[in-house]
Amino acid sequence: MEILIVFGTRPEAIKMAPLYHELQKSSIEVKICVTAQHREMLDQVLDFFEIVPDYDLDLMQANQTLNGLSAKIFIKIDEVLTIEQPDLVLVHGDTTTSSIVALAAFHLGIRVGHVEAGLRTYNKKAPFPEEINRQITSRIADIHFTPTKQATQNLLKEGILQDYIVETGNTVIDALFWTLHKIEKEDYSHLEIEELKRILPADKKIVLVTGHRRENIGEGFHNLCEALLKVSEREDVVIVYPVHLNPNVKDVVHELLSNKENIQLIAPVSYPAFVWLMQQSYLIVTDSGGIQEEAPSLGKPVIVTRTVSERPEGVEAGFSTLVGTDRKKIINAIQDILDNFTGFDSPMNPYGNGNASKRIVDFLSHYFIG
């Protein structure tokens, strides 16, 4: 039996890496195909997790459109699927790669497994285009690996049978623990981490910031930057912002926040360096989904600069706070945590305990072998 894992972005690679390594321990043959929807950021993850793809479609181009990318994925993945003819294609989450590869596999009569299935906002414009990508993939998939009870319930309400849903937790927690184990070894050395240790003050609270969502480009990022400027007036704070490479984000952030006291704008960092940064932070401000999932395992509160999240579990459990991109709400939420946060009542991460990959492989071994 053969499984083909296909992904294209850094977040997908992080979340599929532990699953790939777990599959390698089994009797199931597994191969990797990357579309390289992201290139440099993807390559860093592949290197860190010691993965060499069997197929690299290398489709990344500057400023390419979603339709142009989709067309290229269709053409290139058709060649791979025709050569390999796998028993199952595994895709992840909500990317253009995931939805297009799932549809291409369906066209060829190949079964599809969807990892991190069932997340929903039911707002097709937020996140864009991820919400529709998820829903498309759910209509195609034969097996749905959901990370939480809420995700399972979403699929059941949409008419997907319980027999085809496997609740596993989120593989990102597996990847996080794998990374912590590696970077905390005495003999582990990482140039980015050493540089971060050099430039970050040890006597200030670190506010770690990320942002990349398309729906926040424009006014949303302006508001975020203005809020950060206000927070940076505090003497007890340093803001660390690895700035996304998208020019629509990068140009605005550098225009408004460059050369400001208590603000460190840095280039995007590798995954191990980012995990180290999360460990050192006092709080995290982000529009990322993966960070919302990882932060509870590190005991870090998250302020989410989105009006709606397909990850409500963290909000309901008190780990995350939704503020949108309203300047005053962002400022007030950051100030409140800086002044009053003393830790979480329950350390239980609603997104899993690090066993998701094993649960998926156990199911697939039974599914194929019996």
Selected catalytic residue, list 10, 12, 21, 94: 94
Give catalytic status of residue 184 as yes or no: no
Q: What does the alpha-carbon distance between residue 49 and residue 42 come to, in Å, rounded to a whole number?
A: 11
Amino acid at residue number 202:
A
β-bridge pairing 205-209 and 237-242:
parallel
Selected catalytic residue, list 116, 294, 310, 313: 116
Give catalytic status of residue 116 as yes or no: yes
CA-nearest of 165, 190, 70 to 113 is 165
Evaluate the omega torsion of the peptide bond into residue 129 and state whether it is cis, within 30 degrees of 0.
Answer: yes
Nearest-10 crossing angle of helices 171-183, 271-280 = 90
Give catalytic status of residue 130 as yes or no: yes
The helix/strand count (H/E) of the chain reads as 15, 13
Q: DSSP character for 227? A: H
Q: What does the alpha-carbon distance between residue 289 and residue 212 come to, in Å, rounded to a whole number?
A: 11
3-state secondary structure 49-100: CCCCCCEECCCCCCCCCHHHHHHHHHHHHHHHHHHHCCCEEEEECCCHHHHH
Give catalytic status of residue 215 as yes or no: no
Selected catalytic residue, list 12, 22, 130, 294: 130
Selected catalytic residue, list 212, 222, 234, 254: 212
Q: What does the alpha-carbon distance between residue 13 and residue 7 come to, in Å, rounded to a whole number?
A: 6
Q: What sign does the dihedral 255-259-261-263 (CA atoms) show?
A: positive
Percent helix / strand / coil, the chain, rounded to 5: 50, 15, 35
Selected catalytic residue, list 244, 306, 311, 327: 244
CA-nearest of 138, 173, 172, 175 to 157 is 138
Selected catalytic residue, list 114, 214, 306, 311: 214
Place of tokens 């590190």: 298
Q: Which residues are catalytic?
A: 94, 116, 130, 212, 214, 244
